[in-house]
Structure 1
């Protein structure tokens, strides 16, 4: 039976690489989303069972049309990869004129990196729910965060903030959706050499720590296709616990990163109430 995938930011980089890996399995129908029509059509033409849809993920109405079109054709949705994102090139620390109001900082990346991912997740959940009962329990929503969402990043603080937010979002929705048979996780790669990163930004990092796209793709495919996985420290996450996870990807392996520990019993009670467990 053909499974259906939808990938934002799927015309290049990590998104395209995951689309290619799914296409090679031959039992997937893949739908990639991007903003460049020519680039998207060329990308889709190189893969089996792949269609391109033009949409800006920061525009909910455009994204909703694509989700609706894909679902109406297939009448099911199995995997959504909310992967679209852009880097930060605005210098938040730049000295401004000592007189007058400083210019508004460029925060457009939040519309794509954060809002776009939440829009895609919201739509994914609604169409997962409309899929046949036979696919429930196997559906997967995966978001692309970053090492910059796990640790502070002075180099790109707004980008880092957007990725911190995505990890918090996944941890907030994952438990409830898992009860509906929807598995939600996020991958947090280190610096991956993709077309989005210019040489000036890449020059801040030693070449030997840059991560091949294929390494990230391999982890993404494990998350989609396997019921549980072991990380590179030997931690085994079984099917019943395989949700709400932040999975750090380096050039040497993958690592499950836990949320911060609860400080005391009062904090535990507060968190239990925040999660609806009390």
Structure 2
């Protein structure tokens, strides 16, 4: 892993001047700080947040400082709200260059709290998944559409930066829904990385340790009392750096903020340790071994299992007839 100092986080700030940044959850905490950093370096920022008053307040403050910022109501679990957010950005500024699906919540409802009705468990509320995963997928889906639009220079900056957590790597006790959502966000980044790399669109996933924001519930804050927290400005800086770094090698990286120390870049090549490495080796072996008589025997076995013998016999008969016909015609 490579450590990135605070001084380096904004070393490519010239790349964002005039760029259009769409950020969800930009009214408070990490999102607010991130919106501020991009605006300070000349980006045009569009904030979407359920907290309309908070969004308008930060937009007003940043405009007063000379920035181009607009804010609008956006519940990330509502598809129409997200569409309206992107359409606002595109109609106002003519492009979308950087997308940050930042909106997130903590473990709002407990998976292990069982409520009964007539002795039967009621359906659990999955609000945490709705916001932290479905909402992120909505934003990502729209990013995949809008980022390539009106792109004149194929080398111009385009980026999608997802927000994971230390919970993307470690399970958090009493927070299975939050942990599941953040594991999933890392998986989304890893899956999209090779696709977006071909389009010269940067992607990364930021993984902060606990920070002093409203997303951390009071019991967790009490539990973490005395333990160094990750500074919010450094998290915003990591988001900024993940979006703007010029090196193609860092595309698809995870960016770890494990405590109050520096940002660590984890290249995609290093997602291959331990169990990850075992799975990767077996996958590669399977792909390389998909040849020869054993492969074809296994192929035929699986086709019989899937389609049944009559279909296999029909296919075999057609292939045999074609072979005989080819031999007779071509000699």
Equivalent of residue 70 in structure 2, options 40, 51, 75: 51
**Residues 137, 180 of structure 1: 8 Å contact kept:** no
CA distance in 1, matches of 2:114, 2:123: 13
When residues 10 and 267 of structure 1 are mapped into structure 2, their CA distance, relative to the original with a 3 A threshold, is same
When structure 1 is superposed on structure 2, of 124-133 and 114-123 the one drifting more is 124-133
Bigger share in helix:
2
Equivalent of residue 158 in structure 1, options 159, 173, 177: 177
Equivalent of residue 242 in structure 1, options 250, 273, 291: 250
Show the 5 A alignment for 1:195-206: 195-206=214-225
When residues 221 and 271 of structure 1 are mapped into structure 2, their CA distance, relative to the original with a 3 A threshold, is farther
Return the offset for 1:137.
4.5
When residues 271 and 185 of structure 1 are mapped into structure 2, their CA distance, relative to the original with a 3 A threshold, is farther
Q: Unpaired segments of 5 or more residues in structure 2?
A: 1-16, 289-331
Give SS of 1:261's match.
Answer: helix
Q: Unpaired segments of 5 or more residues in structure 1?
A: 228-238, 273-278
CA distance in 2, matches of 1:40, 1:135: 32
Equivalent of residue 41 in structure 1, options 43, 53, 56: 56
Show the 5 A alignment for 1:46-195: 46-47=61-62, 48-94=67-113, 100-134=119-153, 136-195=155-214
CA distance in 2, matches of 1:270, 1:156: 36
The alignment yields a C-alpha RMSD, in angstroms, of: 2.2
Alignment correspondent of 2:28:
12
**Residues 6, 32 of structure 1: 8 Å contact kept:** yes
Alignment correspondent of 1:234:
none
Alignment correspondent of 1:31:
46
TM-score by length of 2: 0.73
**Residues 114, 122 of structure 2: 8 Å contact kept:** no
Show the 5 A alignment for 1:188-267: 188-227=207-246, 239-250=247-258, 251-257=260-266, 258-259=270-271, 260-263=276-279, 265-267=281-283
Deviation digits for residues 52-88 of structure 1 (CA, Å, limit 9, x no counterpart): 0111111112101110121122121111111110000
When residues 271 and 57 of structure 1 are mapped into structure 2, their CA distance, relative to the original with a 3 A threshold, is farther
Alignment correspondent of 2:284:
268
Report the number of matched residues.
261
When residues 152 and 196 of structure 1 are mapped into structure 2, their CA distance, relative to the original with a 3 A threshold, is closer
**Residues 204, 243 of structure 2: 8 Å contact kept:** no
Deviation digits for residues 196-242 of structure 1 (CA, Å, limit 9, x no counterpart): 32322212224332212012112112222221xxxxxxxxxxx2222
CA distance in 1, matches of 2:111, 2:221: 18
Return the offset for 1:36.
2.1
When structure 1 is superposed on structure 2, of 209-218 and 193-202 the one drifting more is 193-202
Bigger share in strand:
1
Return the offset for 1:174.
0.9
Return the offset for 1:153.
1.4
Return the offset for 1:271.
7.3
Give SS of 1:80's match.
Answer: strand
CA distance in 2, matches of 1:143, 1:244: 11
